[in-house]
């Protein structure tokens, strides 16, 4: 076969795939003997589908005594010799086709060296890389995308954007985000358009890239799209505009929970500016919207927010979940809510059950500013359950004056229903010592019935 020369090369290369051991070594030696006439055919076999053929071809080329006649063959020579440094140093645009081919090499170090060389060559390599990417598998596609991030040529923006909304793996999409952020502001208009894409992953990727670029929205619409696409509950942008507030409140109805949460978090940064829109939201037919609005109101230190929450809690709201959130919101507002709560407490129009709710909230806030009105209410209203609620509130606030007034009231009135509270006073180490001792003595003088503990438990559960 050695005597046949060039004609033997295709058959020898074909035989590489199905040979092993001694026969494979013999074929490699024969190809090496043929010399220059076998080089071109062997080079084309470096990308053969069979790994056996690729490896044998590389070994054959490595053993042959041949000298590269052009830049591409220099790349091949470095590739088969595993000369990584030399491969990485290739800077001629003429090396691009061979370097792109080297990206598919089974040796990952060869791939990395070729990628670095292509990134260094820059813009002249883009066209060949785009062509290769159009038919590349996931691994090669990611390598090419990473190279684009180093070249930073705006011509790659469109194919990179396409990766964001195609059904690609997360690693490729992340690489595209990084590449687009490296290209910077030239890619921003395309990324902004993508914020409204139907693909959630595409929207998120676009928002991430825009955030990395340092892009800022120019309109309320852009702001809203960015917030919703990012879906980050910690996203806060200094873009205070009533149109944004309305958009955020409207998004509380979104089926995507991430969008709802992002809207809530953003609304919490607007403060009193959000109150008109939140007032409307508290009237919405969807209880989920009312619940979200109540939670946001709990972050606004404003009497209007307190009034809106109380109006819902005491009059309008029938949904238990919304009521619970509204009550928690008032507690969150805390001391600032006390004057409004007291005003409603003293209002003759406030009914018995509403007063119980207000007293329960004051008990949780534990502000001494509520002591005087609570003591007044204790002495001037009827109803055991409400009086018990007031007693628990005064004990929770634990103001000396309030505790003394409560103790005196119970002892002076000899109120049997409230007498169970005295037992609590004697055991509560947070109660002033003087009152605690007086309560203990009162219990000695007038022992509680055997079922007192159960009665107190029942009262607590009832109110």
Q: What is the pLDDT of residues 287-311, one digit of tens each?
A: 999 999 999 999 999 999 999 999 9
Asked if pLDDT for residue 173 goes beyond 60, the answer is yes
Asked if pLDDT for residue 256 goes beyond 90, the answer is no
Q: Which backbone phi and psi does 320 adopt, to 5 degrees? A: -65, -40
Closest CA to 160 of 182, 67, 455: 182
Average pLDDT over residues 276-290: 93
438's CB contacts (< 8 A; 6+ apart) are: 407
Count CA atoms closer than 13 A to 448's CA, side-chain side: 20
Predicted pLDDT of residue 453? 45
Average pLDDT over residues 415-427: 58
Predicted pLDDT of residue 457? 47
Which of 38-47, 103-112, 125-134 shows the lowest mean pLDDT across its residues? 38-47
Asked if pLDDT for residue 20 goes beyond 50, the answer is yes
Asked if pLDDT for residue 460 goes beyond 50, the answer is no
Q: What is the pLDDT of residues 194-214, one digit of tens each?
A: 988 888 888 889 999 999 999
Predicted pLDDT of residue 261? 82
Predicted pLDDT of residue 331? 96
Cβ proximity of 209 and 177 under 8 Å:
yes
Report the percentage of the chain scoring pLDDT > 90: 41
Average pLDDT over residues 436-458: 47
Task: State which of 53-57, 141-145, 458-462 shows the largest mean pLDDT.
Answer: 141-145
CB-based contacts of 251-259 (< 8 A; 24+ apart in sequence): 251/224, 252/281, 252/288, 252/289, 252/292, 252/293, 253/284, 253/286, 253/288, 253/289, 254/228, 256/200, 256/228, 256/231, 258/231, 259/228, 259/231
- Supply angle C-alpha 321, 324, 327, rounded to 5: 150
Q: How confident is the model at residue 13 (pLDDT cuts 50, 70, 90)?
A: low
Predicted pLDDT of residue 242? 80
Average pLDDT over residues 157-164: 93
Count CA atoms closer than 13 A to 332's CA, side-chain side: 17
Predicted pLDDT of residue 433? 59
Report the percentage of the chain scoring pLDDT > 70: 77
3-state secondary structure of 305: helix
Predicted pLDDT of residue 21? 55
Q: How confident is the model at residue 447 (pLDDT cuts 50, 70, 90)?
A: very low
Predicted pLDDT of residue 445? 45
Which position has the higher pLDDT, 9 or 461?
A: 9
Predicted pLDDT of residue 51? 72
Q: What is the pLDDT of residues 67-81, one digit of tens each?
A: 777 888 788 878 877
Predicted pLDDT of residue 449? 43
Which of 111-125, 387-401, 446-460 shows the lowest mean pLDDT across its residues? 446-460
Q: What is the pLDDT of residues 298-346, one digit of tens each?
A: 999 999 999 999 999 888 888 999 999 999 999 999 999 999 999 999 8
Predicted pLDDT of residue 1? 46
Alpha helices in 315-451 (DSSP H): 320-333, 338-346, 352-365, 371-380, 384-397, 400-413, 419-427, 433-445
Asked if pLDDT for residue 279 goes beyond 80, the answer is yes
Average pLDDT over all residues of the chain: 81
């Amino acid at each position: 076969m050695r005597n046949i020369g060039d004609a033997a090369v295709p058959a020898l290369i074909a035989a590489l795939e199905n040979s092993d051991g001694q026969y494979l070594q013999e074929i490699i030696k024969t190809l090496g003997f043929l010399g220059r006439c076998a080089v071109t055919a062997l080079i084309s076999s470096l990308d053969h589908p069979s790994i056996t053929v690729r490896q044998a071809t590389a070994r054959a080329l490595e053993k042959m005594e041949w000298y590269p006649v052009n830049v591409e063959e220099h790349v091949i020579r470095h590739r088969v010799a595993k000369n990584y440094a030399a491969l990485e140093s290739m800077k001629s645009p003429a090396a691009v086709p061979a370097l792109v081919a080297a990206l598919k090499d089974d040796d990952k170090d060869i791939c990395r060296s070729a990628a670095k060389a292509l990134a260094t060559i820059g813009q002249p390599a883009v066209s060949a890389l785009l062509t290769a990417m159009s038919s590349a598998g996931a691994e090669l596609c990611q390598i090419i995308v990473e190279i684009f991030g180093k070249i930073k040529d705006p011509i790659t923006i469109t194919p990179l954007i396409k990766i964001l909304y195609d059904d690609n793996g997360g690693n490729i999409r992340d690489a595209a985000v990084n590449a687009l952020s490296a290209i910077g502001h030239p890619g921003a208009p395309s990324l902004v358009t993508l914020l409204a894409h139907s693909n959630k992953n595409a929207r998120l990727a676009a928002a991430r890239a825009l955030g990395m670029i340092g892009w800022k929205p120019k309109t309320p619409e852009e702001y809203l799209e960015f917030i919703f696409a990012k879906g980050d509950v910690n996203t806060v942008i200094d873009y205070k505009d009533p149109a944004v507030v309305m958009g955020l409140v409207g998004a509380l109805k979104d089926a995507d929970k991430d969008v709802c949460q992002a809207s809530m978090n953003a609304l919490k940064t607007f403060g009193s500016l959000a109150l008109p829109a939140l007032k409307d939201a508290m009237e919405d037919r969807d209880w989920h919207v009312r619940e979200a609005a109540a939670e946001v109101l709990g972050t606004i230190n404003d009497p209007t927010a307190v009034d809106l929450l109380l109006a819902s809690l005491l009059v309008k709201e029938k949904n238990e979940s919304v009521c619970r959130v509204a009550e928690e919101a008032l507690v969150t507002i805390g001391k600032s809510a006390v004057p409004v709560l007291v005003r409603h407490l003293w209002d003759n129009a406030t009914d018995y059950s509403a007063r119980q709710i207000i007293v329960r909230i004051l008990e949780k806030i534990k502000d001494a500013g509520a002591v005087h009105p609570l003591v007044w209410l204790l002495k001037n209203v009827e109803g055991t359950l409400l009086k018990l609620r007031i007693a628990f509130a005064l004990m929770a606030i634990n103001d000396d004056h309030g505790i003394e007034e409560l103790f005196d009231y119970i002892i002076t009135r000899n109120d049997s229903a409230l007498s169970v509270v005295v037992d609590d006073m004697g055991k509560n180490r947070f109660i002033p010592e003087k009152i605690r001792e007086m309560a203990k003595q009162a219990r000695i003088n007038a022992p509680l019935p055997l079922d007192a503990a159960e009665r107190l438990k029942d009262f607590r559960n009832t109110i």
